[in-house]
Structure 1
Amino acid sequence: MTKPRTPTIVVAGAGLSGLCAAVSAREAGARVVLLEKGSRQDVGGNAAFSGGLFLFCYDGPDDLTSVTEDFEPGLKADRIEAPPYTRQAYAAELMAMSGGRAEPRLVDELAERSLDTVRWLAAKGVRFTFNRTLGAAVRDGVLHIPPGQVLTCVGEGMSRGFEVIRPLLAYAERIGVEIRWSAPLMEVEVERGGGRVTGAVVGDGGETVPADAVVIAAGGFQGSRELRREYLGPQWETARLRGTRLATGDGIQAALRAGADKAGAWTSCHSAAVDPTQPSPQRSEASPPFPLHGFWLGVLVNRDGERFVDEGPGPWVRNYSKMGKAIMRQPGCEAYEIFDQRTAAKVADEFAGAAVPIVAHTVPELAERIGVPADRLAHTLKTFNNACPAGDGATEDGTREERGTAALTPPKSRWASPLDRPPFVAYHAVAGLTFTFGGLRIDPDGRALGADGTPVPGLYAAGEAVGGLFYGDYPGGAALMRAAVFGRAAGHTAATETEPASRPA
């Protein structure tokens, strides 16, 4: 007589997607072994270094307050107005920002499952709040929430993301997930002849952990100089990391050797503008180089003193992840964000972190201090100022959205106000590499797919190890949402569709 054996699911990577997969599989009744390449101080992957942003669908205020009733100071109001952000709008935005290349099934499932997954995270102890820098504002006693408002975790600055990880880790340990630290995944073992997954090879010693299924959630390859050079280009080999140094593509490579197929934009990445003096992150509770998100309030110039990008194509949270790539294409792979007194205080308070500004009272003085040709910088700013709308459309803080330049290349599509109120302020900016876009092909339930489009038996993937959703750019908050949605899906699928072997009673 035999009795069913509880399936063993191995999850590689203790970031957001890995923790969601582990918790979901454990809640579905599986024994779960969670492997983390780093020590306990490295828990959280890229999510730990993020701003804790989540983009999800909602029908109105009731959906938002079902997730949180926490408000940052000054945002509490008598009433909330929140136009719907529908599944169709979410999918359309992500498809548009991918240039139509994102996998439609993954896009649809991300949108469909987003609200329920945020509620699931909140039930595990993750606390969310409304954030004014992302568009929420109180007017006449009413809190106005723009469509697509991104909620953030309760916390400070760019360390908010760790406040997603902290409660999830505690919950995982409480429900019996077995976590092995300093245990990198080396190989995924499969039956001879390309059968199903049978285990995971761990560490330099080659220990094998028998498993009925393996979930790859070990991140992308931004931590590998060799893979950056091969796929992103030689200029990225020495790029400053904003994300975890431990995501070196090991999980992706192991899955490819086990029969999974590639997907997505292997030559693209998330890369924000950052202060070059700030160190790359180490421990997961440390803040990463603060992204210089104020670009939309001023102009970006290269070392030749010339503009090279539209600084205001839309809300900053929808565009910051491509500014680093634009900078990387400039001479010396560097640039300067320039502001005047209309917006300098707002930038310093909300969008510059610990970066030290360069201040000058005249344009020639500014050019000398940042090391660009004075005549070119003067011409650039004069041309830009002349292209900005004139008259009473100007606002004191320069943040009126509909203001775009006229007959200027490249344009500044929104928030265009002249830079003519000294002293001028500049921030030195370089590209900060957060994560790569290329990864493994999956279906909406997290199954890893082979080149023929069929699932690799017993192999699953989630998070930044997955390709097919993000290409040139993506809306802010969709990355953590992707990690949680597909991590949760992969863990549940692995636990519920696995048929473990039997053993004598």
Structure 2
Amino acid sequence: MPDPQHVDLLVIGAGMAGLTAGARAVRAGLSVVVVEIGDEAGGSARYAGYAWTAPSHEAMERHNPRGDTSLKRALVDRFADGVAWIRNTGVDVKDAQPVLGFGRGHQFDTNHYLDTCRRIVVEAGGEILTATGTERLRLENGAVTGAELVTGTGTGTGSRRAVRAASTLLATGGFQGDIELRKKFVHPHADRMELRSNPHSRGAGYRLAASAGAATGPEGAGFYGHLIPSGIPFADPSDFVDLSLYYSEHALLFNLRGERFADETLGDHLTTMALLDQPESRGLLVADSRVFRDWVVGSYVKGAVAVDKFALAARRGGRVGFAESLDELDCLPEEWGYDGPAVRAAVEEFNAVAAAGEEPVPGRLLDRAPLDRPPYYVVEAVPAITFPFHGVRIDDRARVLGEDGHPVPGLLAAGSDTGGLWHRAYAGGIASALVFGLAAAEAATRTASLGSG
């Protein structure tokens, strides 16, 4: 192993959290090396386009009651500073818009932002090493002091390189790309899901943190993802948005027994978790002409490009159906495995309850209008995973916590590698990566100043 390079901050992972931390750190005068296992920096954040979260502590508590209190408060309190930082890099950020009925967010060009952060790091003399894996963390007397790297990953000509760092940040994007970790920490049937993210987030940060004695969790926290049409593999990253059936919040979703099993209006991302628990983890999404007009072919959030998701699913070979009346739902294809008459009866029952102003079962918190305007648009939906909520435990300064509850010296984490913030609830992954990426840079700056003092 060659003599190690010495830096103030080593960042493992060049996505939203890692590049944010690297750019902020070099602006503070720190020496920085950023390591990325993929061939390009940016990660899944390139396909986002929005940063949003709950606008108040009350809203966060209402929608995410079991999340870690200190992390929730930090996200709400520091989100505006995160948006200001994006603007400070020269990237245009739109005015705040409502998201999901309770959140507030800002549209911005995430590609431009990530490329800008990369440029800031490089122009300040920092390094960004792509196609580079992390073999292990360097540990000295219980403190993390950098890592040993393998450059040229996947080329067959990799060489080892050591980096000694006052602070090391884990920001590898989660473990959704690792089937066994998903089955262990997300759900026994998590292997059924399509991967709605880049393929490189396979638990590197999680395993590195565990090797340093980090605490992980929480158990049973769930995951972030969306419903997608069944039988259609993602062809490219644009599908992550185009194939997501966000409109499920206004439609009705039935399992194989022809039963509603969740309040769809709480959010497509929550219904996605609920569907994973259902028989064969698949269900039938039914919309009428009102939902089709207002939501299927409309923009999920203001300013987003509208996509006719029904037409796209049909064009790509998904299981879709068109019914001129409710009675035609009796004729669902037998090979799909659904009881058509049961689905039709369930829609009729929902419509009668909704028309009478009564509470359906399961409940319907928001859109309680009946689906009584033919024709009907039917899509079979399955869950897809973006990242897990189980991860490395941190405090509100992005310091990794050990199993004893105290920070592991020299080790930081941010973004989807972390756990504790969300617990079967969600209010913005890009916002979290932004806020705690900045927190990690600030923690590294404090460590560097203490070392130089």
So what's the TM-score if we normalise by structure 2? 0.85
Q: What is the distance in 1 between the residues matched to 2:426 and 2:59? A: 8
1:79 — aligned with what? none
Identity %: 28
Secondary structure in structure 1 of the residue aligned to 2:9: strand
Question: Runs of 5+ in structure 2 lacking a partner?
Answer: 152-157, 301-307, 315-319
Query: Going by fraction, where is strand more abundant, 1 or 2?
Result: 2
1:365 — aligned with what? 328
- The superposition leaves residues 196-217 of structure 1 with CA deviations (integer Å, 9 ceiling, x where unpaired) of 4243433565432222221001
So what's the TM-score if we normalise by structure 1? 0.77
Q: Report the Cα offset of residue 375 of structure 1.
A: 1.9
Q: Report the Cα offset of residue 501 of structure 1.
A: 7.5
2:448 — aligned with what? 498
- The superposition leaves residues 93-125 of structure 1 with CA deviations (integer Å, 9 ceiling, x where unpaired) of 3233333x3222222221221101101112213
Q: Report the Cα offset of residue 462 of structure 1.
A: 0.7
Secondary structure in structure 1 of the residue aligned to 2:436: helix
Letter of the 2:361 counterpart: T
1:112 maps to 2:70: no
Moved more, 303-312 or 249-258: 303-312
- The superposition leaves residues 276-307 of structure 1 with CA deviations (integer Å, 9 ceiling, x where unpaired) of 3443365x677556310111222111222221
Q: Report the Cα offset of residue 407 of structure 1.
A: 4.2
1:150 maps to 2:105: yes
1:199 maps to 2:147: yes
1:420 — aligned with what? 372
Q: Report the Cα offset of residue 406 of structure 1.
A: 1.6
Q: Report the Cα offset of residue 266 of structure 1.
A: 5.7
Moved more, 352-361 or 223-232: 352-361
Q: Report the Cα offset of residue 379 of structure 1.
A: 1.3
1:17 maps to 2:17: yes
2:303 — aligned with what? none
Instruction: Say if 1:265 and 1:468, in contact at 8 Å, map to a contact too.
Output: no
For 1:446, which of 373, 398, 421 is the aligned residue?
398
User: Number of aligned pairs?
Assistant: 424
For 1:458, which of 410, 424, 430 is the aligned residue?
410
Letter of the 1:368 counterpart: C
Query: Residues 23 and 114 (structure 1 numbering): CA distance in 2 closer, same or farther, change over 3 Å?
Result: same
Query: Residues 332 and 148 (structure 1 numbering): CA distance in 2 closer, same or farther, change over 3 Å?
Result: closer
Instruction: Say if 2:325 and 2:376, in contact at 8 Å, map to a contact too.
Output: yes
Secondary structure in structure 1 of the residue aligned to 2:290: coil
Q: Report the Cα offset of residue 226 of structure 1.
A: 1.0
Secondary structure in structure 2 of the residue aligned to 1:187: strand
Instruction: Say if 1:260 and 1:449, in contact at 8 Å, map to a contact too.
Output: yes
Secondary structure in structure 1 of the residue aligned to 2:438: helix
Q: What is the distance in 1 between the residues matched to 2:289 and 2:144? A: 63
Secondary structure in structure 1 of the residue aligned to 2:265: coil
1:301 — aligned with what? 254
Query: Residues 206 and 285 (structure 1 numbering): CA distance in 2 closer, same or farther, change over 3 Å?
Result: farther
Q: Report the Cα offset of residue 227 of structure 1.
A: 0.5
Letter of the 2:324 counterpart: H
Q: Report the Cα offset of residue 6 of structure 1.
A: 7.8
Letter of the 1:495 counterpart: T
For 2:268, which of 320, 323, 342 is the aligned residue?
320
Secondary structure in structure 1 of the residue aligned to 2:419: coil
For 2:204, which of 232, 250, 254 is the aligned residue?
250
Query: Residues 295 and 380 (structure 1 numbering): CA distance in 2 closer, same or farther, change over 3 Å?
Result: same
Question: Runs of 5+ in structure 1 lacking a partner?
Answer: 57-84, 136-145, 155-160, 314-318, 391-404
- The superposition leaves residues 124-179 of structure 1 with CA deviations (integer Å, 9 ceiling, x where unpaired) of 133333587848xxxxxxxxxx874322225xxxxxx4354233333333333310
Instruction: Say if 1:44 and 1:165, in contact at 8 Å, map to a contact too.
Output: yes
Q: What is the distance in 1 between the residues matched to 2:330 and 2:414? A: 46
Moved more, 422-431 or 200-209: 200-209
1:291 — aligned with what? 244
Query: Residues 304 and 115 (structure 1 numbering): CA distance in 2 closer, same or farther, change over 3 Å?
Result: same
Moved more, 331-340 or 197-206: 197-206
Q: Report the Cα offset of residue 429 of structure 1.
A: 1.0
Query: Residues 374 and 195 (structure 1 numbering): CA distance in 2 closer, same or farther, change over 3 Å?
Result: closer
Q: What is the distance in 1 between the residues matched to 2:207 and 2:193? A: 22
Secondary structure in structure 1 of the residue aligned to 2:122: helix
